[in-house]
Amino acid sequence: MKRVLLGMCLVILGGCSTHPPGHPDHNWLNGVWNGKGINWEQTFKFEVVDGNKIVGWQESRNDKLRQVGWGQMTGEINGDTIKVTVYKGTTTVYSIRKTPEGNLINQGIILRKQT
């Protein structure tokens, strides 16, 4: 029985895929970015993989810091433009751009890197 369980664990762990690394020019985007608007806050966790592809998550909170949305995210980066699709019950597409100061801007909210 132990051998069967061990074999199943090895098959499951061996079947997990990892993403190839992102292009080094896009490493600046990797990490958590956060910004606050008047009545809400946005947090994005970006990981650039496979050249210019993006995986991660996005979270929105209201002015009382209660979570109002969280979802997995995929997309890609081209130059200073980041386009991502967030899946959280509905699908939301964001077009985010890098500012000359190195921050990001999304829907009028300035996102600053946290990590």
Complete domains list, the chain, with CATH: 21-113 (2.40.128)
Note the pLDDT tens digit of each residue in 52-104. Answer: 999 999 998 887 777 778 899 999 999 999 999 999 888 999 999 999 999 99
Is 0.85 topped by the overall pTM? no
- Structural element, H or E, at residue 26: none
Neighbours of 76 (CB within 10 A): 16
**Does residue 110 register a pLDDT over 90?**
yes
Q: Is the Cα dihedral 74, 80, 81, 86 positive or negative?
A: positive
Closest CA to 98 of 110, 85, 114: 110
Q: How far apart are CA 39 and CA 31, in angstroms?
A: 24
